[in-house]
Structure 1
Amino acid sequence: MSRLWFTLTGGGKSLILFRTTTSGGIARVPQKAISMNPCPNNSVTLKSLSSNEPSLPPSIFLGTVSTSNGWWERTKGRATVKVSGHPPRSLFLIPVVLLLLLWLPGTLFSAQITLQSDEQFRFAEQAMEKGDYLRAVFEFERFLRFFPEDKNVPRARLLIARCYLKAKDYESARKTLHETLGVYQGTLPGGKALFLMGESYYEQGLYEEAARYFKGVLGAYDDPELRNRATYRLGWIQMQTGQWQEASESFKTIGAGSPLFLNAQDLSFKSLGGEQLPYKDPTTAGILSVVPGLGHVYCERYKDGLVAFLLNGLFIWAAIESIQQDQEVLGAILGFIELGFYSGTIYSAVNVAHKHNRKLKDDFLQGLPDAVDLNFFATKEGHLGLALKFTF
């Protein structure tokens, strides 16, 4: 057995330098190594770089080239392997080339990726504008990781919280805002974070908790516009909870220089209309339900009132008839069932009155414009862009 160096040629050009071991058996040649444009019938010529042996038996490939579909085996007929000549001169150039590669500067073969802070920030904003909020969160967090000293870091934190609010992930939003408050307590970004904390509870309908945060903004921060927005949102909470007079007074205190001023003045007048809504008194509905169904009629639920009247009347009649027929046990059972229906009718009338009032109020509020624009909490500011370069 002898080891020889070969250059596999096909289609008119050299493809690869590899080593074979001559032995008996079938010639195995990697299919991909034959040629990208194989010559006719996949014929190959192997040129020896060693001695002037007249010929070689079939060889087994020992190189490192592999293909996805394994080895190509020529099992029918054996390829003719010709050995001739001496090692090509190019073989002696390999050490010289390797030395040159070592001496050349590394940057000649390096690749650079430059990441600009303003470009990364804008990319995150674009994801947010497209409604891809979770992707926007990822990109803003990448911005914070790469550019922790950039002037837009406070804004990025607030935008992360806004993305979570848009995605209705209120717990994640509040977690981000708590972290922001810890870093920027007493500054404008901290005040905005406190406002957004209240906004997260407001959007969930937790008005008492939301009011606590908006009042916290008024008590701790002097920025005029931030205070105007907190007061404005408190006015909305007062309308949501039926405090129409208080809401009107809150809207009147919005400063004349605020973008909210005109809308607030309009709401100051319109909010009083909430007191004129045709509410139904739940207590009255319950009292009227002493006559089954009458409380529902009071709440304008005529069909429900008719059903309640007939159902209760039927059970009352059946109970009386049973007693008159000396079936006291059956009469007692029917009377007990009727007592349950009768109590349920009263409770239902009270509940219907509350639902009627809530729907009336919600429809009224939906007709009023809410001018709070959360873009205020991501106001664009001029800044110097930073850049990071990654070299490979």
Structure 2
Amino acid sequence: MSIILFLGCLFAPLLHTDTVLAEPVMITDADGQFQFAEQYFRAGEFFRAVGEYERFIYFFPDDPRKEAATHKIGLSYFKGKKFEQAISAFKAFLAQFPLSELATETRFRICDSLVRMGSLLKAVKCLTGIAEAALDTDIADRAYYLRGWIYLELDDWEDAAESFELISKKNRERYRLEDLSREMSWKGDIKTKSPAVAGILAIIPGAGHLYCGRYRDATVAFILNSAMMYAAYEAFDHGQNCLGGLITIFELGFYTGNIYSAVGSAHKHNRAVNKGFLEYLKQNSRITLGLRQDAHKRQAPCFSCQLMF
């Protein structure tokens, strides 16, 4: 009996290992937890903020600030440049709070995330959905305006003009559409290069590059091809047919490359001048659509523009 009691005293502590080793879980109050998450957000530590907002939602699911915390998770990912996660978080927010005052801004954030990811066609589709579903003319006009600029980025000027034309009359002055339309019409005055002409001129090595204003490439192409042609001629003239044939094969490669390069130079020139004109439009005609806080600290759209003369 004494042995049994001894063994019981020896092993009894092991039966309560969980109690001994368990660490106490510290759960703060709702106000403290929410402010802790907000502090990380304001400090720019967005991924830590995500964790704290999620902790707040987990421990206080009935708190009225759950909506704000859920939205801030998406916004934290957005500001942290994790756009795929931001889109997922924003979609989860819309699924939970479809009638939220932040719903419209959230949908625009999703479109913005797609643009920043380089998914411009998806962004166009996103903005089209906003415009078609909008009951507020201002919201639809904002979507049409942003969609128009994405079309310009895609070098689709016709669809861009059509998108701008869909903006209601009451907002046309706000978006400075008259000035924008006038300046867009100047695109026809841009001096572009014809890829076809560049290719035809490249029959004479270097001439295609010369047409595109690439003088250094023109010189190199002319000298290199001329030297290869002369070397092939000399080889055949001295009866070195195998060497002449080998040089000719290499020269055909250089000659064909000269033509393709000239065509590519024309395309490159056109992209550069179009991009330069688009940058000009952005600096002179684009209205920046941002978000500001109203008197009740809610996100609201605002308009600002800088006129350059």
Letter of the structure 1 residue corresponding to residue 109 of structure 2: L
Q: 1:160, 1:278 → 2: CA distance?
A: 48
Deviation at residue 231 of structure 1 after TM alignment: 0.6
Letter of the structure 2 residue corresponding to residue 178 of structure 1: K
Distance 1:340 1:127, change over 3 A: same
Max radius of gyration: which structure?
A: 1
Select between 261-270 and 359-368 the one with higher mean Cα deviation: 261-270
- 2:93 aligned partner: 180
2:252 equivalent to 1:346: no
What SS does structure 2 have at the residue aligned with 1:209?
A: helix
What SS does structure 1 have at the residue aligned with 2:287?
A: coil
Letter of the structure 1 residue corresponding to residue 253 of structure 2: G
Distance 1:380 1:177, change over 3 A: farther
Deviations 1:156-199 (A, max 9, x none): 44444344334332221222133234334576644443332222
Q: Is the 8 A contact 1:248 1:267 kept in 2?
A: no
Identity of aligned residues (%): 32
- 1:243 aligned partner: 156
- 1:196 aligned partner: 109
Q: Write out aligned runs for 1:60-79 (5 A).
A: none
2:83 equivalent to 1:170: yes
Query: Among residues 117, 124, 133, which one is paired with 2:46 in the alignment?
Result: 133
Q: Is the 8 A contact 1:296 1:304 kept in 2?
A: yes
Deviation at residue 140 of structure 1 after TM alignment: 4.1
- 1:356 aligned partner: 269
* Larger relative contact order, structure 1 or 2 (CA cutoff 8 Å, min sep 6): 1
Letter of the structure 1 residue corresponding to residue 116 of structure 2: E
Q: Is the 8 A contact 1:252 1:268 kept in 2?
A: no
- 2:31 aligned partner: 116
Letter of the structure 1 residue corresponding to residue 31 of structure 2: Q
- 2:231 aligned partner: 318
What SS does structure 2 have at the residue aligned with 1:261?
A: coil
Q: 2:80, 2:59 → 1: CA distance?
A: 25
Query: Among residues 189, 201, 209, which one is paired with 1:276 in the alignment?
Result: 189
Distance 1:197 1:305, change over 3 A: same
Deviations 1:3-37 (A, max 9, x none): xxxxxxxxxxxxxxxxxxxxxxxxxxxxxxxxxxx
RMSD: 3.3
Q: 1:143, 1:274 → 2: CA distance?
A: 53
- 2:216 aligned partner: 303
Structure with greater helix percent: 2
Residues paired across the two proteins, number = 269
Q: Where does the alignment leave 5 or more consecutive residues of structure 1 unmatched?
A: 1-110, 384-392
Q: 2:133, 2:186 → 1: CA distance?
A: 33
2:284 equivalent to 1:371: no
Distance 1:121 1:168, change over 3 A: closer
Deviation at residue 334 of structure 1 after TM alignment: 0.8
Q: Is the 8 A contact 1:192 1:226 kept in 2?
A: no
- 2:302 aligned partner: none
Distance 1:209 1:262, change over 3 A: closer
Letter of the structure 1 residue corresponding to residue 224 of structure 2: L
What SS does structure 1 have at the residue aligned with 2:175?
A: helix
Q: Is the 8 A contact 1:249 1:268 kept in 2?
A: no
Deviation at residue 221 of structure 1 after TM alignment: 2.8
Distance 1:150 1:269, change over 3 A: farther
Query: Among residues 206, 210, 232, which one is paired with 2:123 in the alignment?
Result: 210
- 2:141 aligned partner: 228
Deviation at residue 322 of structure 1 after TM alignment: 1.1
Q: Is the 8 A contact 2:40 2:46 kept in 1?
A: no
Q: Where does the alignment leave 5 or more consecutive residues of structure 2 unmatched?
A: 1-25, 299-309
TM-score normalised by length of structure 1:
0.59
Letter of the structure 2 residue corresponding to residue 300 of structure 1: G
